[in-house]
Amino acid sequence: GLNFIDLMVRQGNIDNPPKTPLIPGFECSGIVEALGDSVKGFEIGDRVMAFVNYNAWAEVVCTPVEFVYKIPDDMSFSEAAAFPMNFVTAYMMLFEVANLREGMSVLVHSAGGGVGQAVAQLCSTVPNVTVFGTASSFKHEAIKDSITHLFDRNADYVQEVKRISADGVDIVLDCLCGENTGKGLSLLKPLGTYILYGSSNMVTGETKSFFSFAKSWWQVEKVNPIKLYEENKVIAGFSLLNLLFKQNRGGLIKGVMDKLLNLYNSKKIKPVVDSLWALEEVKEAMQRIHDRGNIGKLILDVEKAPTPLMANDSTETSEAGEEEEDHEGDNENKESMPFIQ
């Protein structure tokens, strides 16, 4: 699975970025090829999905058993690779941190992305939850049924939300940071919870920019604890990777995964896969995330051959793809295809 955090790792916009060379990626799915001597509960040949502390974008992956989960029989490998990061993050924020209950309201940014779509699906499992979402306008038609009130990401969503709900919202899920922090806090109802789980506004180009980083940091609302006390507001942060790999909460996450898999088996949630990419196309896949062109999750498929993209896509044509034989039929048919799935 590809996540926005992978772009931040690439640019060094994280604490203690790893030294190169490294293999990126934090989640994967596949078939068990070998087991450690003390591993129980799994057998060679099992279909599994897993969290990995880097090294997920590979043909062979090794990870501790506590981070591995069996895939339901009717879940595909691509869905499984799209499942762990997005749904665990969404579930933890909504139910463990913000205590989502019947009749509440939620504002989520990047509503068309993997986490945004997971948030929308999980909100639908609780009665009478109102979901406000921001997304690029070209995504609205595809995601309008999952979001109660949908706004263009460049619009003044604060005024739009207040026009519909004068008191604001109960929960704000912010993956943007920067100036959106203050806006999110201003929209909170009393006893509302603002959760920062990303800072995609700090990724602005091909390389790490001190000026864009400083600008985004400077725009962050300076939080006064006395003001929080007076206004009865909660501000929180959530990092699934730190929870797993630095704070040793794998057991807690396993309990969450069990609940999520029950919801999947009950057909109440389902991962949204935007597109599949060959390993050679990782540059173009990351560009698609950077340009916010995806609806749902992008997946690297180790068995997929590189494929030329349409000229009007948000990414460049893959050089590797141009050298591949045409497995999809003649060029006339290919030019009329939608974005490669």
For the chain, the structural domain boundaries read: 4-209+219-300
150/307 Cα distance (integer angstroms): 33
Pairwise pLDDT comparison (13 vs 310), residue with the higher score = 13
Q: Which residue has the higher pLDDT, 329 or 307?
A: 307
In DSSP terms, 130 is beta-bridged to 105
| Percent over 70 (pLDDT), the chain | 83
Report the alpha-carbon distance of residue 88 to residue 74 in Å, rounded.
Answer: 20
The one-letter amino acid at 38: S
Q: 105-136 as b/e, with b when 16 or more CB fall inside 10 Å?
A: bbbbbbbbbbbbbbbbbbbeeeeebbbbbbbb
Helix (H) or strand (E) holding 336, with range, is none
Task: Supply the pLDDT for residue 330.
Answer: 40
- How far is it, in rounded angstroms, from Cα 284 to Cα 282? 5
pLDDT at 254: 96
Lowest mean pLDDT among 105-109, 180-184, 228-232: 180-184
Contact 213, 254 (CB under 8 A): no
pLDDT of res. 220: 61
pLDDT digits (tens, 9 = 90+) for 103-112: 999 999 999 9
Largest Cα separation within the chain, whole Å, is 66
Determine the pLDDT at residue 173.
96
Return the SS3 of 189.
strand
What does the pLDDT read at residue 204? Answer: 53
For residue 73, the 8-state DSSP code is T
Gyration radius of the chain over CA positions: 20
Length of the chain: 341
Mean pLDDT calculated for residue range 180-187: 90
Q: What integer pLDDT is reported at residue 221 of this predicted model?
A: 64
Please state the pTM of the whole predicted model: 0.84
Contact 178, 201 (CB under 8 A): yes
pLDDT of residue 308: 65
pLDDT tens per residue, range 33-75: 999 999 999 999 999 999 999 999 999 999 999 999 999 999 9
pLDDT of res. 177: 76
pLDDT over 60 (residue 335): no
CATH no. of 4-209+219-300: 3.40.50.720
- Contact residues for 212 (Cβ-Cβ < 8 A; gap 6+): 202, 204, 205
| Model confidence at 239: pLDDT above 50 | yes
